[in-house]
Homo-oligomer: A and B are copies of this chain.
Amino acid sequence: MALTNALESRLGYQLRRASAVMMADLSRELAELDLRPAEVTTLQVIADNADCSQTEVGQALAIKRANMVPIISRLMERGLVERRRIDGRSHALTLTEHGRMVSKDAQERIDRHEARFAELLGAADMAMLFRCLPVIRSAREGDAEF
């Protein structure tokens, strides 16, 4: 028998569950690429911002400096990302030719994945979500870095 669950009326809970469902779907869609969501995400940011630094990518994605390291390392090992010394400290990140191809493939997969949900929800609700979700984020994303 299904249990009563007062949590259903909690925004945070609904968000977690919904997010988990989409993450699972995304992972499935990306499985063949052997790339994790965080890696693909990083790839997209570098694609859109050639010559950005690791820390900058991290800031854009709310990933701490320290956690960017293994992500970039793996993308470099895979020959998807290259970096060029700018400074004694910072590197400029760019996609390799192969990286651009993989990024494009990933893009398409993500588009398919997103389309499934967009269809489910309809344009009006999608618009509403894109209005509301950033409001939630804005509430307290001041935790990032500092």
Contacts A10-B114, A24-B143, A114-B11 given; does A137 touch B4 at CB 8 Å: no
Give how many A residues have a beta carbon under 8 Å from the other chain's beta carbons: 62
In the bound complex, what is the Cα–Cα distance between A110 and B5 (angstroms)? 14
Is A146 engaged at the interface, CB distance under 8 Å to the other chain? no
Chain B positions within 8 Å of A6 at CB level: 44, 48
Q: Assess whether A49 is in contact with B136, with CB atoms less than 8 Å apart.
A: no
Let me know if A66 is at the binding interface, CB within 8 A.
no
Number of copies: 2
Q: Indicate if the CB atoms of B19 and A19 lie closer than 8 Å.
A: yes
Interface pairs A-B: 8 shortest CB-CB:
A14-B133, A18-B136, A12-B22, A19-B19, A15-B19, A3-B60, A18-B133, A4-B48
Residues of A within 8 A of B (CB): 1-26, 41, 44-45, 48-49, 52, 56-57, 59-62, 110, 113-114, 116-118, 120-121, 125-126, 128-137, 139-141, 143
